[in-house]
Amino acid sequence: MSAVPSMKLPRWVELGMLPVINLAAALVVSGLVVRWIGESPWAALKLMTDGAFGSQEAIGYTLYYATNFIFTGLAVAVAYHAGLFNIGAEGQAYIGGLGTGLVGLWLGHWPFWAVLPAAVAAGAVFGAAWAFIPAWLQARRGSHIVITTIMFNFIASALMTYLVVNVLIKPGQQSPETREFAAGASMPGMHAMLGKIGVPFTATPLNLAFFLALGLAALVWVFLWRTRWGYAVRVAGLNPAAAVYAGISPARVTVGAMLLSGALAGLLGLNELMGSQHRILLDFPGGAGFVGIAVALMGRNHPLGILAAAVLFGALAQGGSQLSFDMPRVNRDMVVVIQGLVILFCGALENVFRKPLEAVFNFGSRLAARGKTDR
Amino acid sequence: MNLPDSAAPPALELRGIDKRFGTVHANRGVSLSIARGTIHGLIGENGAGKSTLMNIVYGFQPADSGEIRVQGIPRVFGSPQDAIAAGIGMVHQHFMLVENFTVLENIVLGVEGRRLIAPGLARARSALAALARDYGLEVPLDALVSTLPVGLQQRVEILKALYRGAEILILDEPTAVLVPQEVEQLFRMLGRLAGQGKTVILVTHKLKEIMAVTSRVTVMRQGAVVAEVATRETTPRDLAEKMVGRAVLLRVEKTPATAGAELLAVRDLEVVDAFGVARVKGVSFSLHAGEIVGVAGVAGNGQSELLEALAGIRVPRRGEIRVAAAGGSPAGSDPRARRRLGLAHVPEDRLRMGVVAAFSAEHNAILGYHTLPEYNRGVLLDGDAVRGACERKMAGYDVRPANPRLPVSAFSGGNQQKLVMAREIESDPRVLLVGQPTRGVDIGAIEFIHRQLVGLRDAGKAVLLVSVELDEIIGLSDRILVMAGGEIIGELSPQEATEEKLGLMMAGVREMAEGGSRNPEGR
């Protein structure tokens, strides 16, 4: 017996219009909240967009935040295509950053072109290693990866606190952070790179890692949709029984995809530590691993969508801090509320407007069909 | 069967039912009138609109236009509850039962009455006793549903509908899971129901069943009613042609087999399921070049596990599988290794295992073969080669629409199956394992698929065919193995295999020569 054919939306509606409508809905509700605490929603919106895109400095900071979210968003997406919900990007980014940071501490006296590959390798290996344990537990022991990756976030946090406070801390000071990296472990800033080719750009933390993230997004796309390994990952994610039938081992895909996912998250330190902080300090991922989940969700787990969503969340982070700075009644927590609303509407409630839209397009195509038969 | 009373309004009347899904016109002005106290057949190929029509009648989805009259009264159904209230009951192909509830609990589910369940159960018990008396529908009310054979579970579904006051009973492919003897019981029961004034609508694709029990039959094609005839004035061939819209062959044409060398040998194979229960118990047989060996059996008697063990998907606990290609050495134990030895596999459940529904046709056409050098260029998949190969397969196997980029979920069951068959047969296997090759496949495609299997046999390959369709087993096989309770209970030639004989063996009765002892583990 035939299944009921499901009405599909045109691609441009699915990928373009639906996210925009979701975002608009989030902003409308945010506006109501801002209204409710007695500020003007229009002024707030203007402050936020200006704060995020209004100047070179604003754009620099927005893209700097976005870089973190690209790494973690790609990490969540790769796992997602294998049918795995990696909640642990935060911890993987934290431990991966440890690897990058150790390279910065120990090899920072090398020239930058020699430090970079070592830092990339160390970040990827440390992040992958942190993801390997939950992956192995899922593949061989059936422990659910959602639970184990959450637990590994806490373990990573505790481990890093111990290491930074007791082992790596710069001697003779109170604040829990290491000494600064030597010059070789410093990512070239965007202002420096653009300055070399004669384009003036305000000094911001935006750095070479942004381009690395863009390059990785392209590589992830090639891997997932243009290689036999990516093919195997997607088969296992969409239909594990078909994977077994095809001779693809779901257990191996689970481990492989999580290693890749952890490696991607682990590169966050390139941007955050080598690009901005130049030392290892506590809690440097700052929730980027969790934002990565929202970024991947909103970006439909496609690298292009992830880029767009990462910029949006970068803008929310940067514009939000500007907003809390300029509007006394909108404090940091209010900004978190707004970010939460965006995640709610774009992630959790992403299909709320699908039915009405489908009805509209259904009606349209039926009218078109009637028109044809009438003629 | 009672003659319909011409003065009384028809039990169910549909007038101009029309339904579109986007651009798909699923029902085109369907009008239908079914007299009270009759068994009415509804047949059509997959996608002909039978399911949509019955879903509309049962209130699952509204029609775009048209009218439904029940016992002469116009009705509008917003949900199945409305349809049930109007006296319509439905028995789905896949039972909607809670396995670890008793029969009685299942029957009252949703109509328990008040907050306390005990009085409702007591009421139901006496009402059901009356129903059982009137219609001969005995079931052990306090048995757990999971312990009942499939035939009895179906009876529970029927009782559920009757208990809710159904006057019109819709049965969707009710015989798919039954052995022939159970089918006979079901039909006797339906006859009694009709005799007492209930109206039965039998939705099926099996022409033989239509001929056996219905008094009238409606044929649908492409969403429209193409014929409504009295069953005794028609023939299966005539109905098949009306369904498909052209002449069809109902019998498989083939020459006698010339079996050659042994290609696959299975010795004392034992396969356990995830719970450690043995599903295949010491099975031995061999498969020769140039023959089709059929495995008959009621679904769930170990055929699936046997097939999956042979394909390398399940690791057997004991026993030996040898493929001749490797010089008689034991075959590797994973599916990829088996494929390399020339063992191709068309899985029983296409959507669960054979395809990735969200993938395009071209990517499904390399499933299991995606690592072959011909589809890869360095680290990248060779998009042109993948597409070209899919286009050739689609052309050779008449897959429609011939668009390699379309997701497989957009193809009909028959075309999906043709794509899977193309993938496996074109890999040039020495042995082809096929499970339910024509499940959910329309008549036109069945004919094509059967010809492919016979063609493979004639090219000197070996085919192992697992099917619950006895006609298919008898029509295609050169030898028939019957499985019951995980064992091969006997072997028949297609000439000596009658439905009755097969049915008895499938129910676990050993061959008559062995004294007809019943196998307690059979069912």
B371/A contact by beta carbon, under 8 A = yes
- CA angle, B382 as apex, B378 and B388 as ends, to 5°? 150
Q: Are residues B67 and B164 located together in one domain of the fold?
A: yes
Is the complex ipTM more than 0.85? Answer: no
Q: Are residues B282 and B219 located together in one domain of the fold?
A: no
Residues 220-279 of A with CB under 8 A from B: 222, 226-228, 231-232, 234-235, 238-239, 241-242, 244-247, 249
Question: Is position B2 within any domain?
Answer: no
pLDDT tens figures, A177-207: 999 999 989 999 999 999 999 999 999 999 9
In order of A6, A116, A189, A206, A277, the CA distances from A195 in angstroms are: 54, 21, 10, 13, 21
Checking DSSP bridges between strand B224-230 and strand B216-221, what pairing results, if any?
antiparallel
Q: Which residues contact B182 (CB under 8 A, 6 or more apart)?
A: B149, B150, B151
Mean pLDDT of B174-196: 86
Say if CB B123 and CB B113 are below 8 A apart: yes
Range with lowest mean pLDDT among A136-140, A368-372, B276-280: A368-372
Inter-chain residue contact A5 with B21, CB threshold 8 Å: yes
pLDDT tens figures, B242-271: 888 877 666 777 888 888 899 999 999 999
Domain with residues A24-362, CATH architecture? Orthogonal Bundle (1.10)
Euclidean distance between the first and final Cα of chain B, in Å?
33
Say if CB A282 and CB A160 are below 8 A apart: yes
> Taking the domains of chain A in order of start, what are their residue ranges?
24-362
A373/B contact by beta carbon, under 8 A = no
Say if CB B385 and CB B374 are below 8 A apart: yes
> Residue A103 corresponds to which amino acid?
V
Give the model's pLDDT for residue A375: 44
Q: Which residues contact A198 (CB under 8 A, 6 or more apart)?
A: none
pLDDT tens figures, B198-238: 999 999 878 888 899 999 999 998 889 999 999 999 988 88
Mean pLDDT of A130-141: 95
Checking DSSP bridges between strand B12-21 and strand B65-70, what pairing results, if any?
antiparallel
Question: If we measure between CA atoms, which residue out of A262, A226, A179 comes closest to residue B385?
Answer: A226
Question: Is position B310 within any domain?
Answer: yes
Question: Is position B253 within any domain?
Answer: no
Q: Are residues B240 and B309 located together in one domain of the fold?
A: no
Contacts of A8 in chain B (CB under 8 A): 22
Residues 313-342 of A with CB under 8 A from B: none
**Interchain CB contacts (distance < 8 Å): A and B:** 99
Mean pLDDT of B281-299: 92
A370/B contact by beta carbon, under 8 A = no
SS3 B479: strand
Q: Which residues contact A14 (CB under 8 A, 6 or more apart)?
A: A8
Q: How far is B518 from chain A (nearest CA, A)?
A: 36
Look up the CATH number of the domain holding residue B173.
3.40.50.300
- CA angle, B193 as apex, B191 and B198 as ends, to 5°? 120
Q: How far is B58 from chain A (nearest CA, A)?
A: 15
Nearest CB neighbour to B339, from listed A222, A226, A247: A247
Inter-chain residue contact B22 with A242, CB threshold 8 Å: no
- Average pLDDT over chain B reads 87
* Cα-to-chain-centroid distance, residue A190: 20
Cis, bond preceding A41 (omega within 30 deg of 0): no
pLDDT tens figures, A332-346: 888 888 888 888 887
Tokens of B235: 């023939």
Mean pLDDT of B16-27: 84
Q: How far is A328 from chain B (nearest CA, A)?
A: 50
Inter-chain residue contact B21 with A232, CB threshold 8 Å: no
Inter-chain residue contact B354 with A242, CB threshold 8 Å: yes
Question: Is position B5 within any domain?
Answer: no
Question: If we measure between CA atoms, which residue out of A347, A356, A360 comes closest to residue A80?
Answer: A347
Quick one: B467 exposed, middle or buried, by C-beta within 10 A (0-12, 13-18, 19+)?
buried
Indicate if the pLDDT at residue B333 is higher than 80: no
A147/B contact by beta carbon, under 8 A = no
Tokens of A309: 């969503």
Question: If we measure between CA atoms, which residue out of B15, B63, B18 comes closest to residue A373?
Answer: B18
Q: How far is A193 from chain B (nearest CA, A)?
A: 33
Q: Are residues B234 and B272 located together in one domain of the fold?
A: no
Q: Are residues B182 and B235 located together in one domain of the fold?
A: yes
- Average pLDDT over chain A reads 90
Inter-chain residue contact A245 with B355, CB threshold 8 Å: no
Mean pLDDT of B351-380: 93
pLDDT tens figures, B131-147: 888 887 888 889 998 88
Nearest CB neighbour to A5, from listed B22, B381, B413: B22
Q: Least CA distance to B47: which residue of chain A?
A: A2
Give the model's pLDDT for residue B516: 40
Give the model's pLDDT for residue B331: 53
Domain that holds residue B325: 262-514
What values do phi and psi take at B215, rounded to 5?
Answer: -100, -35
Inter-chain residue contact B370 with A231, CB threshold 8 Å: yes
Inter-chain residue contact B24 with A241, CB threshold 8 Å: no
Q: Are residues B212 and B282 located together in one domain of the fold?
A: no
Q: Are residues B382 and B479 located together in one domain of the fold?
A: yes
In order of A59, A282, B145, B326, the CA distances from A71 in angstroms are: 18, 19, 52, 48
Give the model's pLDDT for residue B513: 42
pLDDT band for position A1 (cuts 50, 70, 90) = very low
Q: Are residues B183 and B268 located together in one domain of the fold?
A: no
Tokens of A50: 């200006």
Residues 72-101 of B with CB under 8 A from A: 93
Q: Are residues B28 and B73 located together in one domain of the fold?
A: yes
Give the model's pLDDT for residue B250: 66
Question: A245, A372, A373: which to substitute to probe chain B, counting the most B Cβ within 10 Å?
Answer: A245
Nearest-angstrom CA–CA distance, B256 and B286? 19
B453: left (phi over 0), alpha (psi -120 to 50) or beta: alpha
Q: How far is A263 from chain B (nearest CA, A)?
A: 20
Nearest CB neighbour to B46, from listed A2, A362, A365: A2
Q: Which residues contact A8 (CB under 8 A, 6 or more apart)?
A: A14, B22
B345/A contact by beta carbon, under 8 A = yes
Q: What is the number of alpha carbons within 13 Å of residue B56 lying toward its C-beta?
A: 29
Quick one: B515 exposed, middle or buried, by C-beta within 10 A (0-12, 13-18, 19+)?
exposed
Q: Are residues B302 and B176 located together in one domain of the fold?
A: no
Inter-chain residue contact A227 with B380, CB threshold 8 Å: yes
Report CA torsion sign: A116, A117, A122, A128.
positive
pLDDT tens figures, B383-430: 999 999 999 999 999 898 889 999 998 888 888 999 999 999 999 999
Q: Are residues B33 and B109 located together in one domain of the fold?
A: yes
Question: Is position B3 within any domain?
Answer: no
Q: Least CA distance to B333: which residue of chain A?
A: A247
Quick one: A175 exposed, middle or buried, by C-beta within 10 A (0-12, 13-18, 19+)?
exposed
Mean pLDDT of A83-108: 96
- CA angle, B374 as apex, B370 and B380 as ends, to 5°? 65
Q: Least CA distance to B52: which residue of chain A?
A: A4
Question: Is position B419 within any domain?
Answer: yes
pLDDT band for position B511 (cuts 50, 70, 90) = low
Q: Are residues B301 and B184 located together in one domain of the fold?
A: no
Structurally, how many domains does chain B consist of? 2
Question: Is position B422 within any domain?
Answer: yes
Residues 239-278 of B with CB under 8 A from A: none
pLDDT tens figures, A270-281: 999 999 999 999
Contacts of A7 in chain B (CB under 8 A): 21-22
Q: Which residues contact B26 (CB under 8 A, 6 or more apart)?
A: A5, B19, B20, B49, B52, B223
A351/B contact by beta carbon, under 8 A = no
Nearest-angstrom CA–CA distance, B315 and B305? 10
Report the number of secondary-structure helices (H) and strands (E) in chain B: 16, 21
Give the model's pLDDT for residue B1: 45
Q: How far is B98 from chain A (nearest CA, A)?
A: 23
* Cα-to-chain-centroid distance, residue B403: 27
pLDDT band for position A370 (cuts 50, 70, 90) = low
Mean pLDDT of A255-263: 97
